[in-house]
Amino acid sequence: MKISQLFTKTIKEAPADETAVNAKLLIRGGFVSKVMAGVYEYMPLGFRVMEKINNIIREEMNAIGGQELQMSVFQNKDVWSATGRWQSAKDVMYQFKDAADKEYGLGFTHEEPLAAAARHYINSYKDLPRAVYQIQTKFRNEPRAKSGLLRGREFLMKDLYSFHASQEDLDQYYEKVASAYGRVFERMGLKTIRTFASGGSFSKFSDEFQVEADIGEDIIYLNKSAGRAVNKEVYTDEVLAELGWDKKSLAERTSIEVGNIFKLGTKFSEPLGLKFTDEKGDSKPVIMASYGIGLGRLMGTVVEVSHDDRGIIWPESIAPFKVHLMSLSRNEQAEEVYQELTRQGIEVLYDDRDDKTAGEKFADADLIGCPWRLVVSEKTGDKIEIKRRSEKDSRLVEVPELAKLFL
RNA sequence: CGGGGCAUAGCGAAGUGGCAUCGCGCACGGUUCGGGACCGUGAGAUCCUGGGUUCAAAUCCCAGUGCCCCGACCA
């Protein structure tokens, strides 16, 4: 991609109404554009990052047997009334009427519609277990959208649902998902802390994946030796006793919840009549679990924990481009490098603008934050200057060596 | 939903009753060219919306809307 052709451009000053670092940098770099409180549009650079995140998640979900599907965002009232959530979730679910006064909602999660859909396909113990997931836009009427991409009213979410014949089977799969979640976050360069959190009605705890960050809205108590934490919402003497944790050994931290996994039991399958026939011929409700990752929040979190005063420092796995190539009055030679790297399948963002000063180009490279920066200039002669975004020092390399560095 | 703050050009800001300004960005011309360089010219405004006061309102008053922060809330 040539920057001279790019749809967006960078801006020097972030809009005054953004205070969160993630929003400031992502807007300045042209990754996202704000529409309303808690609603952002993903511009080409941001979309590329999002696609990389999606693909990491897809790989890990597929690896544990998840089957990707796509539910509808548009929701009919009946299925939600069956569990009582049409009423109880009124504050969070966007609900409205059509011209004929019929009521509808927008999906903020999909337990009900998934359980309803599964009735068509799950009838026997032979149909279990199953796991399906989607990556889809969710809508939530947040009373207070805030912190840039971290709490939105419209956001992309990966939601996985699993269906089981027994509690033991669910428990086993649940741990598989927890491991997969750990890999997803690790591949994006995030250190997550698995955290005991409120479990809702079915199980004692749910598990959250928390990333330490001052901007986070969660308070967790970290047990360093265990590498686990407990969320403030369940931080009680009884819980600590149950976990066998000593209050004095816990450290209070502020953190961002990037993922949450829940054992649902039969909370949704029973009211929706999702049953199966077991080996003995008995009819039983299917046991379910759901697992969520907020994609926009994840992207915002990476920016929060990986930036400096000049801009974003993307991990290679989700950077919009691997290489940021810039020409300082050497467009002919830079063009060759661009063509060569592109031919080898390396993603290059090429700053070919000849009406910009060197300073602006360097500033943009740092702001956009691709992992590798290449400079072609008078100074570099026949060689190319190469520098990692995360490091200070650069060095000169011969053109033929270049590609090897990135493969 | 409670408390606080803000709203003027694409972005950042000044203007507290009397001709709407400045910087960035944008266009054109020129000088530059390794860290947002410079000179000149130009385009760009529903001063958040509606009402009121006044000879005169971006400015004062009333109502509303939007955005940010704190809190409540967060399947």
CATH number at residue A389: 3.40.50.800
Nearest nucleotide (CA of A88 to C1'): B75
Q: Residue A35 CA to B28 C1' — how many Å?
A: 33
Predicted confidence at residue A201, as pLDDT, reads: 66
The verdict on A260 and A301 lying in the same domain is yes
Residue ending a domain, choose from A248, A283, A308? A308
Predicted confidence at residue A200, as pLDDT, reads: 67
pLDDT 10s digits, A354-402: 899 999 999 999 999 999 999 999 999 999 999 999 999 999 999 888 8
- Residues A185, A221: contact at Cβ < 8 Å? no
Q: Residue A17 CA to B17 C1' — how many Å?
A: 29
Closest CA to B13 C1' — which residue? A16
Q: How large is the angle between the packed helices A399-406 and A331-343, nearest 10 degrees?
A: 40
Q: What is the mean pLDDT of chain A?
A: 95
Instruction: Determine, yes or no, domain membership for A315.
Output: no
Nearest nucleotide (CA of A20 to C1'): B68
- Nucleotides of B strand lying within 7 Å of any protein CB atom: 1-2, 5-6, 10-13, 23-26, 32-37, 66-75
- Residues A192, A209: contact at Cβ < 8 Å? yes
| Domain boundaries, position A21 | 7-308
Nearest nucleotide (CA of A260 to C1'): B75
Predicted confidence at residue A301, as pLDDT, reads: 97
Predicted confidence at residue A232, as pLDDT, reads: 95
Nearest nucleotide (CA of A362 to C1'): B35
The verdict on A136 and A278 lying in the same domain is yes
Q: Residue A12 CA to B20 C1' — how many Å?
A: 25
Predicted confidence at residue A295, as pLDDT, reads: 96
- Report, as an integer, the average pLDDT of A302-325: 97
- Report, as an integer, the average pLDDT of A4-33: 94
The verdict on A345 and A297 lying in the same domain is no
Q: How many domains does chain A have?
A: 2
Residue ending a domain, choose from A262, A283, A308? A308
- Report, as an integer, the average pLDDT of A333-348: 95
Residue A407 pLDDT > 70, yes or no?
yes
C-alpha angle A229-A235-A239 in degrees, rounded to nearest 5 = 90
pLDDT 10s digits, A152-210: 999 999 999 999 999 999 999 999 999 999 999 999 999 999 999 998 667 889 999 99
Q: Residue A367 CA to B36 C1' — how many Å?
A: 11
The verdict on A77 and A222 lying in the same domain is yes
Nearest nucleotide (CA of A85 to C1'): B75
pLDDT 10s digits, A71-123: 999 999 999 999 999 999 999 999 999 999 999 999 999 999 999 999 999 99
Q: Residue A326 CA to B11 C1' — how many Å?
A: 25
ipTM field: 0.95
pTM for the full predicted model? 0.96
The verdict on A86 and A28 lying in the same domain is yes
- Report, as an integer, the average pLDDT of A223-240: 94
* C-alpha dist (Å) from residue A264 to A204, A235, A359, A407: 11, 21, 55, 43
Q: What is the CATH number of the domain that holds A138?
A: 3.30.930.10
Min mean pLDDT across A46-55, A93-102, A270-279 is at A93-102
